[in-house]
Structure formats: structure tokens, C-alpha cells
Structure 1
Amino acid sequence: MSSQVKILAVETLLVDVPTIRPHRLSVATMNHQTLVLVRVETSDGLIGWGEGTTIGGLAYGEESPESIKVNIDTYIAPMLVGQDPSFPAMLMASVNGHIQGNRFAKCAIETALYDNQAKRLGLPLSELFGGRVRDSLPVAWTLASGDTAKDIAEAERVLELRRHNIFKLKIGLRSVKGDVAHVAAIKRALGDMASVRVDANQAWSVTEALEGMAMLADAGVDMVEQPITADDKAGLQRLTQANIIPIMADEALHGPRDAFVVASAQAADIFAIKINQSGGLRGAAEVAAIGKAANIALYGGTMLEGAVGTMASAQLFSTFHDLAWGTELFGPLLLTEEILREPLQYRDFALEIPRRPGLGIDLDEEKLARLRRDR
């Protein structure tokens, strides 16, 4: 099972890009995003790209951009250089057998390997995961300035542009009543023109969540994402079974094992599928399969990745037959710099998925060279 093709180099880039506005979460406020990009070069002249971007340094999870780069460069890259790139699943099995944890780093590597192999085969990456069933995905926009009037104006602007008609509000920094008042005002302003959802990013207690859920349901909000701490599966089960408003698990899903625990306990109505959080494309596909088997609805989540991680997610999500709650793949629109030669296409409230080989995107390596942190 070997060919003459070899992996010549695995390079990790940290690319710092300012955001168009402060992005306020309960765990951090982002004024820039650090894209963690992996470039796999092979002896047949192909380049595969992957991304392992996270949020807020170590505020969100146990991996930071800097740790992802160090661990790839020190431990994973030496395992891959000189190997045959034609068998990405076999290579990732070896990586997983030797490297514990490091879900974001592994996702970046796996994506780059599959992008490289899909290009070699002349196929879109989606076709390596069962084949796509759609060429575009509905995309939500997150309102996270924290200012009610600004959020309303922002929502109305993107509605007029026909870019988004689904809005998710980041909450958790105010009191429960203050959060609900903020959300309710935005829902009143938008009315039936848009779906409004909220993400508390684990900020509430179970008691606060029960109070907040009732008020949010009365305000016309469609869904609440991860209202309580990720490790409280019993609390999540209690909130879900209260049947007040649909509950989405996000940070509670660190791959297929967590998905099985949450599904077995009937502790969510919706799964947020994230390729980085799941440890890669294959892990995310397994999380989705567990959700589908348990009659849990699916939503395509984001770690606010740039174009590489966004399109990797889109390629995988396009293979899901049921994606009842749409996606949140707006990450590139939050950034002030474009890293592609041709930007991703957002129109008619959706992201279009190219049919070109691999990820179907063309990175501007000259622009990356100017933006990367070590230059």
C-alpha cells in the first residue's frame, strides 16, 4: 500500500487578523482572531491546507494557537514527513495512536491530509466522506457587540443584503433578566423576518437557565445553546427534559464519546457539530451519526475559523442528509483581511460550496506571508 509520492513538509502558520468589531462572549472578548493554518506539501506538487483555530487563547479550551503550533511542529510533523500521503485515514490512525488529546491540532493535520488527497483524486473533499447532498448551506450570523441598538442595526443591515436571516446572540455577561431584555428587544425589532437563537457559553447555573429559558421562550427565541457548564450532563438532561425550549449541546461535545453520553441521557435536542472540537472531520462525522441515530437534530457549528476551517466544515456538513438547524459558518466575514484569491461566496442567506477538487479554495500565499506572526 505504497506509492512513490511522499510528504515533503508540514508547516504550521499563526496568522493574526483583526476582527471587524469586538466579539463579546461570556468567556472572552475578541478583537482579533489567530488563524492556525497547516500546509502539507507533497512530492507530486500538491499542497493540502488545514486549520485548527480556537477562541480566546486558553479562555475557551485547553489548546491555544501557540500550543497547537508547538505540538504539531514538535511531535506530529516528524511522524508524517517522508510518509505516503495517499492514505490519510491510516496516517491519522498512527497520529492518534501516538498523540493524546490535541483535538484542534489533529483536526488541522487531518484536514490538510484530506485536502491533499482529494486534490490528487480530482474530487471535492465532500466526496471522501460519502458525497454531498447539497451545494449550499444556510448560515447564521452572531450578534455579539453587547449593545442592543448596534445589534439591531447590524441584523437589519445583513438582512437587507440577503446575507443572513438567522441570528445567534451571545449572552451570559449580564444578569439573566438583563440578557433576556436584550434578546427580547432584538427579537421584537426583527419580528418574523428572522430566527433568533442564543448562546450562553456555559454562563448560567441550572436554576438560572430554567428561569431564562422560560422568558426566552415567551420572547419568541427558537433555541438555547449550552446554557450551563459542559461537564454537567445531568443538568443538561434536566433542562432538555423540561421541554421549555430546544437545548443545543456544544462545549459538552468533545468528540464521539461525549456525543454518546449526551445522546444516551437524552440531554440535548440539538448537536452543534464542530470539526475542531470533534478532533477532526471523521470525528465530527461520527458525532453527527450518533446524533442522527438518537433523533437529535444537527447544527453546523464554528470555532470562528477563517476560510480554510470554514470550507472544511462546509464540505463535511454538505454530506449530512438532515441539517435541520442550519449552520454558523460565518467566520471569514468577521475578519478584516481576506486570505483567499477569491472570497467565499455568501448569497441568498447561504454559503455556496465549490465543486473544485479538495477544499475548492485558493489561498493567497503572498498575503499569508505578510500576515503570519513570525514575519
Structure 2
Amino acid sequence: MKKINVALIFGGKSGEHEVSLASASSIYQFIDKQKYNVFTIGITKEGNWLYYEGDVENIKNGDWEKLSNRNVNINLIPTANKNIGIEFEDNRFEKIDVLFPVLHGPFGEDGSIQGLFEISNIPYVGCGVLSSSVGMDKLICKKVFEQEGLPQVKYTYTTKWDFNKNKDKVLDEIEQKISYPIFIKPANLGSSVGISKAKNREELENGINEALKYDKRVILEEGINAREVEVSVLGNEEVCASVAGEIIPSKEFYDYEAKYLNESSKLIIPAKIDDEMMNKIKNMAIKAFKSIDASGLSRVDFFIEKDTNKIYVNEINTMPGFTNISMYPKLWEATGISYTHLIDKLINLAIKRHNDKCSK
């Protein structure tokens, strides 16, 4: 059987560049090489696309950029003179059958690059343009979840323009709407980049200033005494959810360092909850997935309030991490789908969605 040509795309211009490198190196290591030819394409922090062929460790450690072959042409735009694919120096041409973008954050998970893939008319892993952009924008996503009746913690938001115009007024309004502790998040970013926790007004102001480095809008959420639980979701029209897993952060909350740099954070899989709560959370994860018209994969994060056992949807991640300590593949492994089989399923879902769209 002829192998399928997969272009694994990693890096990107967002603050989650290094996370993407780790995810891509892991996928490359575990993808079924008997079934797929893998072509690795990196995007630098400046936005340059480069073809890399070599030791996968160089992707993870960042050396791929200086070792890339700059004489290879990557063509994803259909033109009269060029086919879509990879053109090598010896005139060899490799058609791309499916794209596997392992890009986290802005320019990779927000619908931007998905729009390019739609223009290229090539199957690609993950959510489409709309669901990617809604899932990436935490503020818009919260409004969708609210419309769907999914419970969330109390929240409000502010903008860079409003905060710079009248800082004290904005801080007063936040304190009137929600209580400390307050979590501060950029509206458009993932992997807990730019997130902080404020216990007083001074920390709130500093946290907003930090979050505004990453986005012009900031979400403020009321902190609750809660367990953090996550569920992996897989599918297109037919959707299934993994068992839930619980996170015990190594720090006060599950920030960027606790997720990717400090391996002392504990992942309890499956979460220690009863069957009724497990099923309720799984059903809520599927509802959240469908509410933004997601496809392929997503990870849905929840809070379980310790005093009341009330469940709140926190957020959805349409391109969750694939590192060796990432929850998304670990949850599926605990549910019965191995890492390699999971990659295979995602590629098949991408091809099926594309074929379904083309047959309409």
C-alpha cells in the first residue's frame, strides 16, 4: 500500500513556539513510519517557513532552524505553474496528502493558518477556521458556552484601551463584579502563558499589565476552591470523550512552568470521581466541543468546586499539547487508544472531513 505523505508543521510566531517544538518531536517519534512519509516543516518566530530533514532531537532543542534546507520550496498556494507540495533541489516533487499542524496559540490555533489550508484544499488535522478562532478567543468562547447553558465561574473582561484610559475605574468595576482571588488571562493565548493570580488590587493591576503584553483584551475570573479536571475529545460528527484526568499543580496554579517545565505536577488518570460525575463531565466536554463546531480533536478543561462538587467549564483547547507529559494523549492512552493509534485516528479524521466537504 502506498504511504500517505504527511507534512508535520511546527514552530510558529506565538509565545508557545517551544511547546510546539516539543509536541512535533514527540509526534514524529511515534507516528507509524510504515504507513506515513513524514515531511517536517518549521515556522520560525519571524514567520519564515523552512524545510527540515534530520534528527528529531534537533526539532525539540531548536537547532532545526539553522540546519534547515533553505533551497527546498514549500508550496501551499495553488498557482498555474506550481503544484501544491514540496519541491527539492534535484527537481523531485512530493505531493502533500495531509497537513498535521502542531501549532499552539496565535497564528497556529486561531484559524489563521487553517484559512490557508482551506485555500490549499488539502486535508488537515484539527479544527476548522471558525472553531479554531472561537476556541482560541477565550472571551468569545465564554459567550458561546454561556449561550449553550454550560456553567462557568463568574468572569468579566477589560481592554487595553479602556484600562489605559481610566485604570482606576476599570479596577473598581472588576472588584465590584467579582471577588478575590482573581485569575487574569489574555483573551487569545494558550498553555497558560501570561496568566497570573491576584489576591489584592496591586497584584490585579500588575497581572492585567502582564496579560496585556500578549493581547489587547484580558479576561478576569473569580477564583474558586476547585479541583482541575480535563477531558480529551475526538471525532467529527461522531464524537467521543476520554476518561477525565485530574491535575495537581506543582505550583499554586497550573501555569506555563507547571505544564511544560516542571515535571513535579501530578496527573491522576482517571480522576478520582464517581461514575455519575465522570459521565456528566464527559457529556459536558462533548457539548462544549460541538458548541463551537469543533472537529478532529480538542481538550476541554473543567473546575470541580470542592465544597459543592459543582462542575464548571473552564476552556477548550483546539490544538492541545502533544508533549510527553501532555494530558491529551495520556487521557486517550488511559481510555484504550495508544499514542501511535491516536495519531492515526487524527489523520483519518482529517481526510474524512475533507472528503465529506468535497463531496457536497
TM > 0.5: no
TM-score normalised by structure 1 residue count:
0.31
TM-score normalised by structure 2 residue count:
0.32
Structure 1 or 2: larger strand share? 2
